[in-house]
Amino acid sequence: MSSSKSTDVLASETHFYRLYEEAPLPFLLLDGEGRLIKVNQACEHVFGYRREEVLGRYLGDFLLQGFEDTLPHAVHEFASSGPISGIEFEVRCKDGTSKLVSMSGHIVRDDQGQYLYTYCILIDITDRKGIEKALQDSDEKYRLAMEASQDGLWDWEVNTGSVYYSPRWNSILGEKETQNNYSTWEDRIHPEDKPRVLKTLHSHLAGETTAWREEHRLKNADGEWIWVLGRGRVVKRDQRGKPLRMVGTMSDINDHKQAEKALHNSEERLKALINATSDDVVVLLDSSFRMEIVNERAAQRFCKTVEQLKGCSLGELMSPERAKERLEYAHKVINSGKSVRFEDYRAGRWYDNNMSPVLNDEGKPQAVAIFARDITERKRMERALADAKDAAERASATKTRFLAAASHDLRQPLQAISSYKDILTLNNTSPELAGPIKQLGDAVLAMQELLECLLDVNKLNAAALKPYMRSFYLGHLLSQLKDQYQTTAMEKGLVLKFVPCNAVVHSDPTLLRVILQNLISNAIKYTQQGKVVIGCRRLGGQLRIEIRDTGIGIPEEEQESVFEEFYQLDNPARDRSKGLGIGLAIVKRMAELLKHTLSMHSVPGKGSCFAIRVPLDYRTQKETHVVNPVALKTDDVSTGSSILLVEDDEIVLHASYGLLQALGYTVKAASSAEAALRLILSETPAPDIIVTDYRLPGDCDGAELIQQLRAKTGSPIPAIVLTGDTTIADTSNYLPDNSLLLEKPARVEELVLAINQLLGNPGPAAE
């Protein structure tokens, strides 16, 4: 302490010290060198040193490293300026801890201005600094967090209009730097968004809302509009509530908005699409099976608007049973991931419903799409079609039944006419009648052929024709055909040549005969001069039967069509006296039925060759159930043989009776099965042969009658069954042994041949 100090000053000092001795803040006096002259109790208390430990020592000895220079510098400052304020340094306490203090004070001088000492008050600012540090840290953390979140920051001094925009805020707009004022933001707002955005901002500034939040478009550095989300809050207001500071963030939501827009557009397109399907009801059920998307048509169906339908459950729209059924389907779709399709009928209309799963991102079904198509019109047409088909089938069945019945009924009188013609031929002695009788015979033959054709077509159409495949000598069939057509050919001046053939073939002789008849008669019909040759050629396991003619031929472009039903060529050279245009159609269909290959080669003006391939049968040389078709001569008749004739049609019975008698047989006639049975019991001996119609009145048919007659007489009387029934092939399967089947109208030659065959008189030898 300076020796020049006055007494007054010391008195005031003493007073001063006492005052500060009791003060709660650390107080100390320093000399001009920075040594401690005085410390108060608070000083001892705060730093833990006793007075004697510190007095006389440099204050700098108690400071932490780094602060040593602070003090001399401060002291120097004091010396020049006088007042000391806010010098901060850290003091090392006695217990080893440290305290951050802020020092304030003043330099005291004597009257002459000589330095006396410096008094200082220390304020412990350790806690305050800690809080400031924590604040600083949290600010830093907030800044880092904002940077990480990619949001731009702004800090607006509302009354001055000055705004701090963070670098990220600028970069969202593609700017390096912007003016720090409010209009930097406001001037960039899209005109459509501006009124809305400013309105909500002003109401927040006015204290009407707790925060501000707006999506809006701003113009970026390239002049493009980008979508941002602005958020902010007033953080400081004056006493009257006027906003002073507002801070906030800006997020770039452009990509999100674009995606949202794309989604919106695609939803709009989807909506347009489902509404465009004006006939179909389109509904999307969400995961709880409530309506999520519906189209106009669906709304019409349920008599509601599209908006009203959204969110509705099925139960709210339909009957409980129907809703239950639909929900079961929907569950099935979700559980299986597969579509379900069903039809239903509602309010007078039919719907074809298709429920399909809608998959989520993981590919799992989460919703159900329903498309319901109104198929009422289709159903009506299907019904009409089915009705029309039924009607057509009924009509076709009626036609088939009619033709079957008509055929039977037509055959009966034809059989009678044919028999009467034969009686006339046998008994005629007048040369004048010979011509007309022959013409009658030709007319009957033509009629028979036409009838055969019609009946064959009918049988084919009714699919009633079942081939009865057997092995037989083809030679017999060919010689029969030769006899049949020889005269016609000769009359036309044609040579009809049959090349001899001894092959045994496997086919249905009746159907094969129809085929060959058609081909031979065509060959004769369409040949004006030259010849018709029927020859056979073995080709592997098959026999190729060829019918060649030197006729008019068929143009190439017509060669396929001639096999169609009722197709005839408009050829002036052809003979129109016969034919319906169905001969070749029958040939084709019968060949298909028999699985025989049919072929044709024709050159107009030169001739045609039709050929059919028939399987050869080498295993058996024995023919079965076939009439030996050799030409009849009346002296072939086994005269005297007795015949029991059973026929229910009076005219046919009469005609056949007359014919058989004329042929020299002894004939007993019966018109029913009962009459035949009665007759056979009363007559002895039993007849040599039975000739019976297949269809007889009552329960008993011809085949059964034969069995009964044989049982009654105890003798296996040979029998011939005549039938006009179109199901001949089936019938033949049920014939008793030692009996033959002849189709009506049977020619007299056939009848005589059959009788001879059954009675063991082979007649003339086969070729």
Among 39, 481, 523, 594, binds ligand ADP (CB under 6 A): 523
For residue 724, state whether it binds ligand ADP (rule: CB under 6 A). no
The residue with tokens 């033949």 is 732
For residue 520, state whether it binds ligand ADP (rule: CB under 6 A). no
* CB of 568 vs ligand ADP, minimal distance in Å: 3
How many chain residues interact with ligand ADP (CB under 6 A)? 23
Burial of 126-165, coded b for 16+ CB within 10 Å and e otherwise, reads: eeeeeeeeeeeeeeeeeeeeeeeeebbbbbbbbeeeebeb
* CB of 724 vs ligand ADP, minimal distance in Å: 23
Among 465, 489, 552, 667, binds ligand ADP (CB under 6 A): 552
* CB of 588 vs ligand ADP, minimal distance in Å: 9
For residue 559, state whether it binds ligand ADP (rule: CB under 6 A). no
* CB of 678 vs ligand ADP, minimal distance in Å: 48
For residue 611, state whether it binds ligand ADP (rule: CB under 6 A). no
* CB of 524 vs ligand ADP, minimal distance in Å: 9
Among 89, 473, 526, 665, binds ligand ADP (CB under 6 A): 526
Question: With respect to ligand ADP, which residue has the nearer C-beta, 598 or 746?
Answer: 598
For residue 488, state whether it binds ligand ADP (rule: CB under 6 A). no
The one segment of 10-18, 76-84, 188-196, 565-573 that binds ligand ADP by CB under 6 A: 565-573
Q: How far apart are CA 510 and CA 472, in angstroms?
A: 11
Q: Which residues contact 138 (CB under 8 A, 6 or more apart)?
A: none
Question: With respect to ligand ADP, which residue has the nearer C-beta, 26 or 551?
Answer: 551
The residue with tokens 């002073």 is 244
For residue 590, state whether it binds ligand ADP (rule: CB under 6 A). no
Q: Which residues pair with 213 in a beta bridge?
A: 231
For residue 702, state whether it binds ligand ADP (rule: CB under 6 A). no
Q: What six digits make up the tokens of 299?
A: 């709304």
Longest dimension (CA), the chain: 202
Question: Residue 187's closest CA among 155, 217, 212?
Answer: 217
Amino acid at position 434, single letter: A
Question: With respect to ligand ADP, which residue has the nearer C-beta, 521 or 732?
Answer: 521
Q: What six digits make up the tokens of 168?
A: 């990220």
The one segment of 261-269, 398-406, 420-428, 563-571 that binds ligand ADP by CB under 6 A: 563-571
Phi, psi of 606 (to 5 degrees): -110, -40
CA distances from 381 to 384, 396, 488, 749 (A): 5, 22, 55, 57
For residue 574, state whether it binds ligand ADP (rule: CB under 6 A). yes
Among 580, 593, 700, 766, binds ligand ADP (CB under 6 A): 580
Among 339, 356, 568, 708, binds ligand ADP (CB under 6 A): 568
Q: How far apart are CA 498 and CA 496, in angstroms?
A: 7
Question: Residue 458's closest CA among 399, 389, 525?
Answer: 399
The answer to whether 125 and 102 are in contact (CB under 8 A) is yes
* CB of 521 vs ligand ADP, minimal distance in Å: 8
Question: With respect to ligand ADP, which residue has the nearer C-beta, 172 or 512?
Answer: 512
Question: With respect to ligand ADP, which residue has the nearer C-beta, 80 or 577?
Answer: 577
* CB of 762 vs ligand ADP, minimal distance in Å: 35
Residues of this chain, 500-519, that bind ligand ADP according to CB under 6 A: 518
The answer to whether 728 and 741 are in contact (CB under 8 A) is yes
Phi, psi of 118 (to 5 degrees): -120, 130
Q: Which residues contact 244 (CB under 8 A, 6 or more apart)?
A: 157, 158, 159, 234, 236, 237, 238
For residue 555, state whether it binds ligand ADP (rule: CB under 6 A). no
Among 551, 687, 724, 763, binds ligand ADP (CB under 6 A): 551
* Long-range Cβ pairs for the range 541-544 (8 Å, 24+): 541/615, 541/616, 542/613, 542/614, 542/615, 542/616, 543/474, 543/501, 543/503, 543/505, 543/613, 543/614, 543/615, 543/616, 544/611, 544/612, 544/613
* CB of 527 vs ligand ADP, minimal distance in Å: 7
For residue 601, state whether it binds ligand ADP (rule: CB under 6 A). no
3-state secondary structure of 330: helix
Q: Which residues contact 404 (CB under 8 A, 6 or more apart)?
A: 458, 462, 464, 725, 726
Question: With respect to ligand ADP, which residue has the nearer C-beta, 325 or 575?
Answer: 575
For residue 718, state whether it binds ligand ADP (rule: CB under 6 A). no
The answer to whether 519 and 587 are in contact (CB under 8 A) is yes
Question: With respect to ligand ADP, which residue has the nearer C-beta, 250 or 514?
Answer: 514
* CB of 565 vs ligand ADP, minimal distance in Å: 8
Question: With respect to ligand ADP, which residue has the nearer C-beta, 550 or 756?
Answer: 550
Among 246, 282, 372, 584, binds ligand ADP (CB under 6 A): 584
For residue 579, state whether it binds ligand ADP (rule: CB under 6 A). yes
Question: Residue 506's closest CA among 596, 599, 597, 630?
Answer: 596
Among 608, 638, 692, 756, binds ligand ADP (CB under 6 A): 608
* CB of 562 vs ligand ADP, minimal distance in Å: 4
Question: With respect to ligand ADP, which residue has the nearer C-beta, 35 or 574?
Answer: 574
Among 270, 440, 464, 569, binds ligand ADP (CB under 6 A): 569
For residue 554, state whether it binds ligand ADP (rule: CB under 6 A). yes
Question: With respect to ligand ADP, which residue has the nearer C-beta, 571 or 666?
Answer: 571
CB atoms within 10 A of CB 660: 23
Q: How far apart are CA 568 and CA 342, in angstroms?
A: 51
* CB of 517 vs ligand ADP, minimal distance in Å: 11
* CB of 505 vs ligand ADP, minimal distance in Å: 22
H or E element at residue 248: strand 243-252
Read off the DSSP letter of residue 735: P
The one segment of 56-64, 270-278, 576-584, 750-758 that binds ligand ADP by CB under 6 A: 576-584
The answer to whether 282 and 295 are in contact (CB under 8 A) is yes
The one segment of 310-318, 430-438, 551-559, 647-655 that binds ligand ADP by CB under 6 A: 551-559
* CB of 446 vs ligand ADP, minimal distance in Å: 12
* CB of 482 vs ligand ADP, minimal distance in Å: 18
Q: What six digits make up the tokens of 524?
A: 């004769």
For residue 581, state whether it binds ligand ADP (rule: CB under 6 A). yes
In sign, the C-alpha dihedral spanning 524, 530, 535, 540 is: negative
* CB of 608 vs ligand ADP, minimal distance in Å: 4
Q: Which residues contact 506 (CB under 8 A, 6 or more apart)?
A: 469, 470, 471, 614, 615, 616, 617
Q: Which residues contact 530 (CB under 8 A, 6 or more apart)?
A: 494, 495, 549, 550, 551, 607
CA distances from 419 to 424, 558, 664, 688 (A): 9, 41, 14, 22
Question: With respect to ligand ADP, which residue has the nearer C-beta, 24 or 605?
Answer: 605
Q: What six digits make up the tokens of 617?
A: 């049968």
Question: Residue 158's closest CA among 240, 241, 234, 248?
Answer: 234
* CB of 660 vs ligand ADP, minimal distance in Å: 34
* CB of 276 vs ligand ADP, minimal distance in Å: 56
For residue 123, state whether it binds ligand ADP (rule: CB under 6 A). no
For residue 105, state whether it binds ligand ADP (rule: CB under 6 A). no
* CB of 461 vs ligand ADP, minimal distance in Å: 16
Binding residues for ligand ADP (CB under 6 A)? 518, 522-523, 526, 549, 551-554, 562, 567-569, 571, 574, 579-585, 608
